[in-house]
Amino acid sequence: MIKVAFYDTKEYDKPSFERYGGLHDMQFRFLETKLNEDTVDLARGCDAVCVFVNDTVNAAVIEKLYEYGVKLIALRSAGYNNVDVQAAFGKIHVVHVPAYSPYAVAEHAIALLLTSVRRIHKAYNRTREFNFSLNGLTGFDFHGKTVGVIGTGKIGRIFIDICRGFGMHVIAYDRFPVQDSGIEYVSLDDLFARSDIISLHCPLTEETRHMISGDAIAKMKKGVVIVNTSRGGLIDAEALLEGIKARKIGAACLDVYEEEADIFFEDRSGHILNDDLLSRLISMPNVIVTSHQAFLTEEALNNIAETTVGNILSYFENDGICDNELCYRCGNIERCKKERKEKCF
């Protein structure tokens, strides 16, 4: 039996993982706490740990896991910026879920955008109080607008397809353009200058951290709408707030926030929020915040569980080889010696 410490458990996680794990004699130890240096001891006696986006898997945590004999870190997410893959190399293998439901995230980005531009959230609250006035609810057509998409992986390309369905003109930026895709790639500065809407679909790296900065915002059109369903650290939240206050940014649609780790996924309604910056953003009439829920569909939850369980089985039953392994040594973290069916270490 493979024993897995499952950190940061939510009720919606359990059914799918219990179902797929039960099919393969896999035992999950469901823990509500996040993984960090104070909770790593809970993984004693386990073969693997399963972690999510706000767990802290730094060098100190990895050293402890290695000491306890944990052989695998299984991310149930695509992003891995919370894992020190360099520290893990040579000690513990790391796997992730590269694509669970790109439609879920792309569709959520569109839902945020439509809600913001057409003032759906305001209309909903008004009519519940029998206020049927249309004052202040004027939006704009998507048709004919230019949307700039940063990151053209699976999610970005699905988002592009949906935007084209609305009759929008699409331009994009990606360090690694998709060949023969029919996508018009431009420089980042050109994208900033031309876009009515900017949507972020790229990973968080040292190069992309705070790519939406004060300088970047200064290059954008007045009234630009910014959508982020990727990672909070892509946006300098202070600069975003200043851009909103200066009326440079017309609206912001955020499913992620840089300092979300101790805030999102929990009910904070009965507490004073200590994050003044997030409080100010939420208070703005042209800002919509959802709490990292873009992935949350039944299809995605099933795919995440199935792929994560498959990753764990692949590692333990296939001599440490897993197609979805993340490796530090190769320079390109997502393309490794595993392509040649060799172990990374």
The residues that are catalytic are 231, 260, 292
Distances (CA, A) of 104 to 227, 291, 305: 15, 15, 15
Residue among 221, 197, 212, 216 at smallest CA distance from 147 = 197
Of 168, 74, 109, residue with least CA distance to 288? 109
Q: Give me Rg for the CA atoms of the chain.
A: 21
How many other CB atoms sit within 10 Å of the CB of residue 286? 15
Q: What SS3 class is residue 291?
A: coil
DSSP 143-208: TT-EEEEE--SHHHHHHHHHHHHTT-EEEEE-SSPPTTS--EE--HHHHHHH-SEEEE-S---TTT
Distance (Å, rounded) from C-alpha 94 to C-alpha 79? 12
Please, are residues 239 and 214 in contact by the beta-carbon 8 Å criterion? yes
Alpha helices in the chain (DSSP H): 14-22, 59-67, 85-88, 102-117, 120-128, 154-165, 188-194, 214-218, 237-245, 276-283, 298-317
Distance of alpha carbon 195 from the chain centroid: 22
